[in-house]
Structures are given as C-alpha cells and as structure tokens.
Structure 1
C-alpha cells in the first residue's frame, strides 16, 4: 500500500502545444525506442506539408489506495529564475515580442527557415538553459512548416478496453527528431507568448538529447507498454515542467500571457476520454512527478539518473515499490489451435492504462481507486491460423482488499461497456459479449486467488471457457489453450 503524499502541482501539455520525443510514446505498439518528438498528442504522427521532411516514429481497512488531489502552489524563489532587466525586453506595445539581447551579449544563434518568428529563439534558448543550469549547444535551426497530424486507430487491445474514443485529426504545433532542428507550425508566429513557452519545451528536449538523458531513461524503463508510458512521462514531464517554470519566470507578467502551461495540460487531460486521455496522461502525470520530485528545472538530471520504473511510481510520487511477483504459465499454446503471438509481445500494461481504461465507463475517482491497488500485470496475445486474436490480461493486486475493489469496479465497467449483465459461472468466471468494429467480441473475468484476476478478451472463440481455461497452481497463473477455436 502506498504512503500518503502531500498535494503537488499538476499539469500536462496543450493538445496543440505539447511535444513528444519520438521514442514511441505510450500508445505505440512495441518498437525499439528511437528519439523523435511531435508537439501535440503523442498518438498522432505529424506529417509536415511544407518545406523540410522530419521523420517521427511513433498512456475502510485495507481498501484501495488513493492519490491526493494535486494543487498549484505558488512558485518559490528556488524554483524559478528571476529575469534580469535584459530578460524582460519586449516590444514597445507590450506584446512581449522579443527584441533580442543587448549588444555584446553572448547569445546562442539559431537560424530560422521557412518564414520569420516574432521573437529571438536564441534568447529563448539562453533563458531555457539558464533554468536548466546547463550550457550545452542549442539547435542549429528552427524549421517552420505547415503541419498536420495523421491520427491512427489505437491498437486492438486498447480499443477492446474503450480507448477508441476521441481520436481526431489535430494540427501538430512543434516537434523534434534530434538535437539539431526544432520543427514548428508557422501559425505560431501569430501567438508570440504561446510560441515562446512552446520553444522552451522543445529546447528542453534539445538538452535531453545533448546530454544523453533520453537514451538513459528509455533503457532504464524498458520497452513494454508500461515502460514506454513511464519513459514518456519522465521525458515529456520534464519538458512540461521546464516550460511551466519558463512561463512563470518570463511570460506571466506580460499583458497577454495566455494560459499557464501546467493548467492547460491538466484541463486537456481531464476533458479528454479514451485514447486521447491516455495520450495526455504521461504529460499530466509526468509533470506532477517532476514537480513533486525536484525544486527547479536545474535538478531534473536527478530524475533522469534515477527515473521511476513503472507508471505506478509516476502516478504516486514518493513510492519506490516495484511490481509484486507474478508468474504465468501457458499450457497447450505451442501445439494447440491458439498460440502466443510476438506482435504485440507479452508485456506489462501498467496502472496508468488500467486507470484510464476504467474511467471510460466509470467516474474518474472510482477508476483511480480501483487501479490504485495495482501490483503487477502481464498481457499475452494469442491468435489462431485464421488470424483471429484473443488476449489474456493477468493482474495481481497489492492485497485482497484491492483485488476485491478492482473486481467490483471491472464488473460494473464491463456491464456498462457491453450493455449486458454478466453470465455467471462459479467455475469459469463471468462473461460479457458485445461488438467492436462490427464483429462480435467477448470478455471473461476469472479470479485465480484472492489477489489475482485474469481478464480474457477478444474473439468469442478464444474467450469461451471450452477453449481457454484459467486456474491458479502453486502460486502461478496457468492459462491453457487447447480448444478447437
């Protein structure tokens, strides 16, 4: 069970003003992490339509634990750099358009291609690195583009659990694919204050690339869905935290500063659902984690050096408990009709995904309570010779009370999702049926002990108890697939 924690700042990135660093993001099906970064929802892959062609690749006693409601404390002097008079330069009309540094100052020189900017990117980079406490070289170029974001359908497993909603085409605002170039939507030129803190976000990624932080974090967190969510939360959360501190230091006192970045991310996370919410979640919870862990952007290297390793640790700053033991054995899958697939491979999905999935049908608070006792999980995908697919999602909770909380919540969730009461069978579990993409799908929930549940989902031929059996044995979960499919 997690310790109680003090309230912390919370936020994420704007739907049209974030950034992701093309290492995949929480929704991508497994691929080796490769750094790149679209600035909006990480599920979307930006496609530039102007000059330049960047490539981007790319979630009562012993009752379930809850996390505190985050707040926005006033920034302390240690958290925010105090601008000098030089830093507060602006246009005569007070719009905040920057005129550059005083003559003779050592300013980072960054070329702009594809148009003009209403500010000096070198000054923004210098301010950003001052907050970060580093002097690494900046990008060579800011490339202005007309961009769109080609959204794709979430993976089948996510859609089976309600994350097919609210995925619409969006306009990409800014992204990076490496340390040398920042790509930005040329429409930002009409919003100088907004553009300025977006650049601070992107320039934080430049520093992450230069210092090797991205590779360090992705190597530590792993490549399964929970690991990808966690690395995204660390990298994007750090950039969002720096962007927010930049806004507080250099933008807030202007005549039209716009919305505080942290509040914008929070608002978009809370107002989204399904796949869109899961895309915002690493920004939102990553920001909260950074704000709860360090006192200033200059301390972020401490987070990169010792990052959280699961989404549970991201969602609950201050806890370092690892996943509880979970062993799963398969029977019949190498010779039977249904065999384990390698795409997607077996892997941990994580508490963050569980929370977002349950929230598609349940209230946020109930979903958070039901997911908070998460201890470990693994998802295993199967298919038969026709290509039909099914999944076994094995979840183990911290204790029996949290497992019961989940059992009650997921029963209500599946009943809402399918519109049907479950078919009950004490031996085989409870089963629900509905349709997805015009084809029948089924769900079966089976408890194997007082802390462990198995959710079978996918094509009814796999979910059916005559095809796939689930039992507990010697502390393991045994899944046997020997039906005729």
Structure 2
C-alpha cells in the first residue's frame, strides 16, 4: 500500500469509526408484529425475500460465518443480507461490490462509536448527560468502515435489523463511490465543520434508509422519524450524536427525489451547520478576529474552536424547549470557543465563548435565552458562568472559576475582539478595556477540534 493510499485509509477511518446507526428504541410490537420485510409480498431484487411473508425469519447463509461475539457465542442475522444489498445497490444505481458483513460490533469499535462525548466544555453548558445511546442498550445498531459492515442484531425485530442493514449498506456505497472523497484530505477542522460533514454522511444514509423503508418495509417508522423522536427524547449529551442524522436527513430529503442522485449532495455541500439548517437564508458566515492576552496571568489559552449554530441549538436545548433553543441559535454569524488552563496540563478549566450575530436583535434574543437557561440550571457551572454583551452584535460568555471570570476583560474595537485575562477588575468584576498592544494568538476564528464525523 503506497503512502497516499495509507493516508487516505487512515483519514477515512476517522470518518467511519466515530458513529453509526443511532441505536434508537425500535418500534413497539404493535407496529411491526406480523410485518414482512418485503412490503405486501413484493418480490426482492433477486427473487428471494429477506424475511418470510408471514413474518418468519428466513435462513441466513453467510452472514454468520466466522462471526462470533466477544464471549465466543456464534451470532447470525435474522434476515438474509443479499436481497437487502441488491435493493440498496439498485436504488443507488451502483455496481459497487457487496461489502463484507460481520455480525456483531467489536467492543472497542462500539465504545468509540457510541460513547457520549462528555467534554468539560459540554459539562460547562450542562449539556453532557448520557442515556441509552452510550450504554448500547437501545436496539439494533451498525458501523461501517472502508473495509466492511458490522451489524449488531440485539433484540430488535427482523424488519428493524433489515432497516439498519440498509442504512449501513448505503454507507458502503458512499465509500465505494467516493462521495465525500475530497474531505479525506482536509484537516480535522472545527466542530461546526465536523458536524456539517457528519450530517451529510449520516443524513445521506438515513435518506436512503427512508426510501428503502417506504419501498420494502411495511408499517415500519422511517429512520428519519425515529431520529426525530430520539432527538426530542434523548439525554442532552446524546442529542449531539442524534442531531446529524435528523437534520442531515432533512437537508438531503429537501434536495433529492431519488437515492440514485445522492452524489449531488456532496458536489456542493454547505460549509456550516447554519447553511445545513437554513440554506441560503442562513446568511454569510461573518468575519471575526479574536486576540488573547494572558501575559500577566497564570492562565494559558490551549485551544480554540468554532462550534456552530447546530451545536449552540443543542446546548440551549438541554434547558430550554426546542422552539426557544432553535430561535435563539438562529441568526448565528460566527463563534469562537477558547479553552484555558492554569496548571500547564492542558486540561481545560475555563472558557470564553464569543459570538457574532447577523443582527443586533438576534444577539438580544440569544442573550435572553442564555440567561433564561442559566436561571433554570442548578449545576455548579451555572454559578461560574457570565454572559455579556460586548458589542452591537457580539456576545461573550465567560465560564470558569471566580478568579478567571473576575480577572478577564473582553472588549471589541472596530469589529475585533480582545480577551484580556487577568485584566483590572472593577465593580462587579467585568471591566472592559480597549485592545492593548500585548496580544497573543491573534488569528481569524476557526481552529481545530477533536472528534470525527461518523459513517454509520
């Protein structure tokens, strides 16, 4: 394997192992009882049925060969996978080779794919609570890599397992057709960029899964509908996992009328989650430069990241209702989240999250919503958070110990923002100063963040 090919493989793994078919709760027995996986007895693409027309499970010749659980128990799928692949390939108009299928998701892969990110930043926003998604107990799930497909049947009905497999096979076609190949040579990018890419990858597969469900599965809820329900009901931290499926599927569905045209989604993709959510009405991303001065303090700026509108909406949704959170996050123009630590270990202990809004009114709406969320919160971070209007369209949030908040001045001059840590403190501890000459880290907003887009 040459160096370029190895680099592409390593990069694509970062896109494939961080997520999978969201393990939402399967439909109840009344919704699937007696259903065939082939709607109304319709013949499968190769003349076979994936499950018997009377709801009985068909034989599975090949999906279980050599596929054992971590405890050595042999596993198998309750459906025949070949007809599922043939249907997906036909729908997507591809001659790609059927990928290798493994029954069961390896523990290490599942842990990486489904674990809820409980970063300190999300904890500071009270948006890190984990639920059924991270514990893996919610039903069938799958993971797709460039090397094959993994499906965990769990206890789901055969039709639900089939729906998950169709989603994973859609990912296999995405990889085979290099639908997002240009992303493989990009730097990791910001959280906003990663969420946008993940939404297009997962939204594309969810869209294909919906089309498959409508054509071949009777009375089974669409995957996009399951994701909507899961987004509404999930723990706050799990919503970050589910959101790309839900909003990504909405984006794709509005732009396509057939899975055969899925490639078009990746030819001219949105650059931000604001564009993903609103299209052209989102407005352009606004310029924002942040300068950080820590020269006279014990604090060090360790990283900066653009979180984006969707992340902001989900963070607000942890405390507020969906409509209020969505309205408060709309009008996003740019943001920069800067992490600080004081002991040299690099572990963040404090943050300054700065926003630039499209209009002054939208800045007002965000401040009101964020303050309302703080009033409702009872966690320790709520008392260590301060939101301040820095300019006409600029809002800053300082989160951290008293000495950090009270010793940090944030100001705006000619559209440029300065974060001066250990600045003079006056009155209530929030004293604005003009940008001084001693600044470090003065770069345009952007920056890298950890985390990867998902293919699941």
Query: Does 2:78 match 1:118?
Result: yes
Which residue is 1:139 aligned to? 99
Equivalent residue for 2:253, pick from 284, 291, 299: 291
What is the count of residue pairs matched by the alignment? 384
CA distance in 2, matches of 1:23, 1:456: 34
Equivalent residue for 2:121, pick from 152, 157, 164: 157
Output aligned runs, 1:5-404, within 5 Å.
Answer: 33-36=14-17, 38-41=19-22, 85-87=43-45, 89-90=48-49, 94-95=54-55, 97=57, 112-114=65-67, 115-144=75-104, 149=111, 151=115, 154-168=118-132, 169-171=135-137, 173-187=140-154, 191-217=157-183, 223-252=189-218, 257-319=219-281, 321-331=283-293, 333-334=294-295, 336-341=297-302, 345-385=303-343, 389-404=349-364
What per-residue deviation string (whole Å, max 9, x for no partner) do you get for residues 341-368 of structure 1?
A: 0xxx312101111111112222211111
CA distance in 1, matches of 2:131, 2:239: 10
CA distance in 2, matches of 1:221, 1:274: 28
Work out whether residues 63 and 102 of structure 2, in 8 Å CA contact, stay in contact via their aligned partners in 1.
Answer: yes
**CA shift at 1:390, angstroms?**
1.1
Which residue is 2:453 aligned to? none
CA distance in 2, matches of 1:356, 1:246: 29
Which residue is 2:417 aligned to? 477
Query: Does 2:404 match 1:462?
Result: yes
Work out whether residues 238 and 300 of structure 1, in 8 Å CA contact, stay in contact via their aligned partners in 2.
Answer: yes
**CA shift at 1:477, angstroms?**
0.9
CA distance in 1, matches of 2:153, 2:131: 24
CA distance in 2, matches of 1:37, 1:481: 35
Task: State the secondary structure of the residue aligned to 1:316.
Answer: helix
Distance 1:386 1:140, change over 3 A: closer
Which residue is 2:34 aligned to? none
CA distance in 1, matches of 2:171, 2:40: 22
What per-residue deviation string (whole Å, max 9, x for no partner) do you get for residues 116-139 of structure 1?
A: 333221221111111111111121
Distance 1:38 1:368, change over 3 A: closer
**CA shift at 1:36, angstroms?**
2.2
Unmatched runs of 5 consecutive residues or more in structure 2 = 1-9, 24-38, 68-74, 426-456
Work out whether residues 220 and 307 of structure 1, in 8 Å CA contact, stay in contact via their aligned partners in 2.
Answer: no
**CA shift at 1:221, angstroms?**
9.0
TM-score by length of 2: 0.75
TM-score by length of 1: 0.71
CA distance in 2, matches of 1:92, 1:381: 56
Which residue is 1:407 aligned to? 367
Distance 1:371 1:186, change over 3 A: closer
What per-residue deviation string (whole Å, max 9, x for no partner) do you get for residues 212-245 of structure 1?
A: 2344346569521111111110101111111111
CA distance in 2, matches of 1:394, 1:411: 15
What per-residue deviation string (whole Å, max 9, x for no partner) do you get for residues 157-211 of structure 1?
A: 11111212243522374333523322122435x6221111111111111112222
Equivalent residue for 1:452, pick from 378, 381, 394: 394
**CA shift at 1:399, angstroms?**
0.7
What per-residue deviation string (whole Å, max 9, x for no partner) do you get for residues 454-475 of structure 1?
A: 10112222111xx110111121
Distance 1:34 1:362, change over 3 A: closer
CA distance in 2, matches of 1:93, 1:297: 26
CA distance in 1, matches of 2:325, 2:282: 22
Work out whether residues 193 and 271 of structure 2, in 8 Å CA contact, stay in contact via their aligned partners in 1.
Answer: yes
CA distance in 2, matches of 1:469, 1:323: 25
**CA shift at 1:40, angstroms?**
4.8
CA distance in 2, matches of 1:144, 1:357: 33
Task: State the secondary structure of the residue aligned to 2:16.
Answer: coil
CA distance in 2, matches of 1:470, 1:235: 38
Work out whether residues 312 and 350 of structure 1, in 8 Å CA contact, stay in contact via their aligned partners in 2.
Answer: yes
CA distance in 1, matches of 2:182, 2:413: 38
CA distance in 2, matches of 1:177, 1:484: 53
CA distance in 1, matches of 2:282, 2:59: 46
Work out whether residues 354 and 395 of structure 2, in 8 Å CA contact, stay in contact via their aligned partners in 1.
Answer: yes
Work out whether residues 346 and 380 of structure 1, in 8 Å CA contact, stay in contact via their aligned partners in 2.
Answer: yes
Work out whether residues 396 and 453 of structure 1, in 8 Å CA contact, stay in contact via their aligned partners in 2.
Answer: yes
CA RMSD of aligned residues (A): 3.3
More helix by share: 2
Task: State the secondary structure of the residue aligned to 2:390.
Answer: strand
